Amino acid sequence: MTEPRLPPLHALRAFEAAARLESFSRAADELHVTHGAVSHQVRALEGFLGAALFARNGRRVVLTADGRVFADRVRAALRDIGEAANSLRRPERANRLTVSLLPSFAARWLMPRIGRFMAAHPEITVNVHASLELVDFERDEIDLAIRFGNGDWPRVEAEKFMDDEYFPVASPRFNRGRLPTRPAEIAQFRLVTSDDEPWAPWFKAAGLKLAEPDGPLFSDSSMVVQAAIDGRGIALVRRSIAEGDLAAGSLVRLFDVAIPAPGSYYLVRPKRPAPQKVLAFRAWMFAEKKRKR
């Protein structure tokens, strides 16, 4: 007997989300892809099936009769696949905690501390997934994410963890130790710049009328901190990313002027009861925030 030819799984996932949410845009948000990608996958699926699944009226879409029948069966099939996968992986995953966070926060804040969590919870295996991308908790098997922003993300629980601020730092050896003592002197020095931390707001807070510097440009906050440690210039850094190096003396803060960060760190997880391993990590994170390095 010839096995039936199956449509692509990613097209089925896009169709199921669009059918359930009755919107290509909301399906795109859920799947972390573009509206056009969902539309393309659905059209490819319709071409594969030779049947229209949605009636389109501008940006509004409505399931056809064939689409409703197919959506019910696809949803049931995907649920069966998910349940089958869960039944196999659950024992292995029960004590494995996968945390997703920004590379800079992972390198400068979490990694110097994570040994204490591992020592306190030897029964939990920790996987750290450093990425700039938003995560799909189910697809990527992520238990908890730490993200920077305003906390207004759909279909997840977002708990504020920590506010932040920016201020200039430098290596104590930079310029042979002759560092500026007043903000007005900073224009005489090489300034390290970042895509995420423009200098203009700090200049304004310090009462300076200066243009954004043309100094070395780095795309990641951890790289900015390292550039300052290596004596490449004065850097505007996030307190949370630089505090370990400030405590170690490899960086020194310049001036008392600081500006609040445009967002905060949040602990983000799916909207369902959190397992004990996530609750343990959450409690440890808040305890670490209060702890002196």
Domain 165-260 CATH superfamily: Periplasmic binding protein-like II (3.40.190.10)
pLDDT, residue 35, reads 79
- What is the pLDDT tens value at each position of the chain, 293 positions in all? 566 788 888 889 889 988 998 888 888 877 767 778 888 889 999 999 999 999 987 767 889 999 999 999 999 888 888 777 666 655 556 789 999 998 899 999 999 999 999 999 999 999 999 887 777 787 778 999 999 888 888 888 999 999 999 999 999 999 999 999 999 999 999 999 887 788 999 999 999 999 888 877 887 888 999 999 999 999 999 999 999 999 999 999 999 999 999 889 999 998 888 999 999 999 999 999 988 66
Q: Look at domain 9-91 and name its CATH class.
A: mainly alpha
Taking domain 94-162+263-290, whether its CATH number is 3.20.20.20 is answered by no
For residues 90 and 101, give the distance between their C-alpha atoms in angstroms, rounded to a whole number: 23
Q: Tally Cβ neighbours within 10 Å of residue 155.
A: 10
Contact 194, 219 (CB under 8 A): yes
pLDDT, residue 92, reads 53
| Same fold? 94-162+263-290, 165-260 | yes
pLDDT, residue 128, reads 94
Domain ranges of the chain: 9-91, 94-162+263-290, 165-260
Contact 198, 264 (CB under 8 A): no
pLDDT, residue 66, reads 93
For residues 19 and 23, give the distance between their C-alpha atoms in angstroms, rounded to a whole number: 7
Q: Tally Cβ neighbours within 10 Å of residue 33.
A: 17
